[in-house]
Amino acid sequence: MRIIAGKYRSRVLKSSRGMKLRPTSDRLRETLFNILGPQTAGARFVDLYAGTGAVGIEALSRGAAHAVFVEKHAPAAALIRQNLDALGVTTGATVLAVDALRGIEMLAARHAADPAWAADIVFLDPPWAEEAEYARVLALLGAANFLAPDARVVVEHRNKLALPERFGKLRRTRLLEQGDAALSFYQMEALSV
């Protein structure tokens, strides 16, 4: 697994065979960031179910101002820290060794303490077998107050999983399929009153 582009281009990330991780493929990561394009530069990026941290680290490599990695499995969270250390990342990264729901609560609390802090891009890739996680987390994000007004939420999922078009303030704007994986892109939108 390697960084595709940016500051850390071609650097190899550590992965662990013992952990049951399904990292986002290099090809799908490249597609994701080609679509996000210049939105990544200067963004506050949240990587839920971060695994090895490859997606959030790719965001940092491409100029994200800050990346928050949320990963509940302690060995995987330690692996993210090792990957950040190996790249010399000392600022602009936070690793939260908690589950996604607790991570969302922590991000909401951070926003409450500092209203200027808002997430610009959220990427989530729950274990494909845990289909209920998608709806649960997307429903929370659709009602979240810590997302920037024009925030994007990107979901990696099995291409056979049909996600709803809307979750609260999130509306799907694009669905891209690549092999057995798919990316659903959601955009924050103001709800009419």
Give the chain's domains with CATH numbers: 26-188 (3.40.50.150)
Question: Given a cut of 90, is residue 24 above it in pLDDT?
Answer: no
**Average pLDDT over all residues of the chain:** 91
Question: Given a cut of 70, is residue 51 above it in pLDDT?
Answer: yes
Q: Which of 53, 55, 12, 30 is nearest to 178 (CA)?
A: 30
Q: Are strands 44-48 and 119-124 parallel, antiparallel or unpaired?
A: parallel
pLDDT tens, residue by residue, 76-86: 999 999 999 99
CA–centroid distance for 6 within its chain: 18
Q: State the pLDDT at residue 192.
A: 45
Q: State the pLDDT at residue 11.
A: 78
Indicate the pTM of the whole model.
0.92
Write down the residue that tokens 């994000």 correspond to.
141
Rounded to an integer, what distance in angstroms lies between the CA atom of residue 27 and that of residue 42?
A: 23
The enclosing H or E element of 148 equals strand 147-158
Beta bridge partners of residue 122, listed in sequence order:
46, 153
Q: State the pLDDT at residue 142.
A: 95
